[in-house]
Structures are given as C-alpha cells and as structure tokens.
Amino acid sequence: MELTTVWFIAIAFLWTSYFFLEGFDFGVGMLLPVLGRGNVERRVVINTIGPVWDANEVWFIVAGAAIFAAFPEWYATLFSGFYLPLLAILLALIVRGVAFEYRGKRDDARWRSRWDKAIFWGSLVPAFLWGVVFANIVRGVPLDADHEFAGTLGDLFSPYALLGGLTTMILFVLHGAVFLALKTSGDIRERARLVAGIAAIGAVAAGGSFLLITQVEHGEPVTWLTAAGAAAGLVLAAVAIRRGREGWAFIGTGAAIVLAVATLFVALFPDVLPSTLVEAHSLTTDNASSSPYTLKIMTWTAAVFTPIVLVYQGWTYWVFRKRIGTDQIPRPKNEPVR
C-alpha cells in the first residue's frame, strides 16, 4: 500500500476519533441549558466532560497537523477556501474552552449564565459547521487549474451542505444525550433519556436523508454497507435508550458516527477535494501529497506515539467512568439543589 493511501486512512481515523469523542462534548454543551435546571445540575452536566473535553479536542489539532504535513496542497486550499467557516469553528472552540475555565471563577448567577450561553453557542456552531465543511469536501467545490478555491462563501452553503450541518448537529445532540444518560443519575439521567429518544427521531430522518443523497451522488458499492451500518446504529440507539440500556445506546450512536464518517471518506477517495468545475483540477492523494521521505518519517513517528496516546486516553476514561449526580456537588449553605 502506498504511503499516500496510508496517510489518507490515518487522517480518516483521526477525524473519526475526533467526531466520536468531541461529538458527545458538543452534545453535552448544546444540552446544558435544557438538562441543567439550576447551577448545581449544570455543574453536574459540565463535570461529565470536565476531565476529558480538552483531550478530545487534541484529535482535531492532530488531524489538522496531519493534513498539513501529509497533504500540504489539500491543507492550503481547504483552509483558504473554507476560511470563514473554519475561523468561526476556531473562535467557537476558543470561547467554549474559556467558558469552561471561567464559569466558576465568580459566585454570581449572571456571570455563570453568560458563560453557560458561551458553552452552548461554542458547542452548537462547530457541531453545525463541521457538517457543512465535510459535506462540501465530499461534494466538491469550484477549484481552478492552480487548485485555488474559485467560488464564493455562498457556494459553501448549498442545500446539501446545510443538510450535512443539520445532520451532525442533531447527531451530536443525540450522542451527548446518551452520554449524559450513561454518566449521570437521578433527574438529569431521566431527562437525558427523554431528550435522546426525541433526538433519535431527528437523527434518523436527517442522517438517513444525508447518507442516502451522499450514496446516490458520490457513493461506491462498499459505502452502501457503511451507510446502512450507520443507519442501523441510529436505530439501535433509539431502541436501546427507550429500554434504559444506555451502554448499548452509546455503542449505537458511536457506531453511527464512525460509519457515517467512513462513508464520507470512502466516497471521497482517491480525491481529497474534488473540483466541481473541471475534474482534472481536483486534488487527489497523489497531487496533494508531501514527498515520500516526509511521509516515511511521519509514519514512523505515528507508529511510536499513537499507541501511547490511545492508552493514556483510555486510562483517563477508565478513571472517570462512574456516574455523578447532584449529591456529589459541594455547594454553599442554603443554596437550593435546583
């Protein structure tokens, strides 16, 4: 197997890991004002991802760095043509990170309320725009002979791209609701299960439509299997959450995300950014890649450090695996629970 193909698969793995892990972070953030009734409950919601959200975000950094190093032409065209959506994502992630750190710095309800809104919007904006970005990557964008983006901002918000954004947003809400049902106890857990049941309906409708259109217009024979598997994962999650089996529901939403991302990358290969103007202008794994020597060094580096990262992050989740509830949140005297 050529190293360009190896690194295309590696980048697909990095993005899949990012969406699987950061997906429930985004969902938890979007559900904060819905499931957190009062400061104590909102602290419980935030604490479910408090030990892990920043580590989950590292996958995005590594995925971007991998594209830069392995396929610099792809990186240059992507980050110039998609500049405004990617800038909005970056700013939202910064605001959300600051909100997690600063929310508890002052014992003031209005102060906390402002940062809670920052967490909500800092989660919703990336959850929607990532779907828009990847829908455009698969569908293709106007590229000229120099592989430069020749379109406008409006070209990035086609109906197909907006459907992709809606799909990721609803899917991450479902993923986050299932994660909260798995990680909390008491009233929050019950409300999370109720929200997950509702979100599952929207995820099946939006996700099924998006994957069907993707398969018909851009798919390969093998992606019928991955798309069907993603749909089956959503159905499994919907059935499991109604039966109170949060573990199986989380497996279902996780499988849906993994297989949906796999569908997009398999449909994309061997292109990395198709051109809608002239097919010969498309960026591929061959014409967008670094030198073989660079790819060889990257491969050895990844082979050494990737297992270490996986073991460390797995250990982190094992340490913080138990459920939490309002009774575990210390609070000042006379402060109500709700």
pLDDT digits (tens, 9 = 90+) for 201-235: 999 999 999 999 999 998 889 999 999 999 999 99
Dihedral angle computed from the Cα positions of residues 129, 204, 231 and 64, in that order, rounded to the nearest 10 degrees: 10
Residue 309, pLDDT score: 87
**For residue 254, how many other CB atoms are within 10 A of its CB?**
20
**For residue 70, how many other CB atoms are within 10 A of its CB?**
26
What is the enclosing helix (H) or strand (E) of 215? helix 187-218
CA distances (Å), origin 165, targets 56, 67, 288: 20, 22, 26
Q: Is the dihedral of CA 251, 257, 258, 259 positive or negative?
A: positive
Report yes or no: 230 and 263 within 8 Å, Cβ to Cβ: yes
Q: Which of 229, 279, 309, 231 is nearest to 10 (CA)?
A: 309
- Rounded CA separation 46/122 (Å): 13
Beta bridge partners of 271: 284
pTM: 0.92
pLDDT-above-70 percentage for the chain:
98
- Rounded CA separation 55/21 (Å): 9
pLDDT band at 338 (very low <50, low <70, confident <90, very high): very low
Mean pLDDT, the chain, whole residue set: 92
DSSP code at position 275: B
Count of positions (residues) in the chain: 338
- Rounded CA separation 14/176 (Å): 20
Q: Which of 79, 97, 14 is nearest to 298 (CA)?
A: 14
- Rounded CA separation 307/257 (Å): 22
Token duo for residue 158: 């086609």
pLDDT band at 326 (very low <50, low <70, confident <90, very high): confident
pLDDT band at 335 (very low <50, low <70, confident <90, very high): low
pLDDT digits (tens, 9 = 90+) for 280-313: 999 999 999 999 999 999 999 999 988 998 998 8
Report yes or no: 233 and 253 within 8 Å, Cβ to Cβ: yes
The contacts of residue 316 (CB under 8 Å, 6+ apart) are 51, 52, 55
Q: Does the structure show a pLDDT above 80 at 82?
A: yes
Give 332: exposed, middle or buried? Use CB within 10 Å, 0-12, 13-18, 19+: exposed
Q: Does the structure show a pLDDT above 50 at 6?
A: yes
- SS3 assignment, position 283: strand
pLDDT digits (tens, 9 = 90+) for 240-268: 998 889 999 999 999 999 999 999 999 99
What is the enclosing helix (H) or strand (E) of 66? helix 53-70
Q: Which of 278, 234, 224 is nearest to 255 (CA)?
A: 234
- Rounded CA separation 121/178 (Å): 20
Residue 316, pLDDT score: 87
Q: Does the structure show a pLDDT above 80 at 333?
A: no
pLDDT digits (tens, 9 = 90+) for 105-153: 888 889 999 999 999 999 999 999 999 999 999 999 999 998 899 988 9
Residue 332, pLDDT score: 56
- SS3 assignment, position 305: helix
Q: Which of 198, 155, 161 is nearest to 177 (CA)?
A: 198
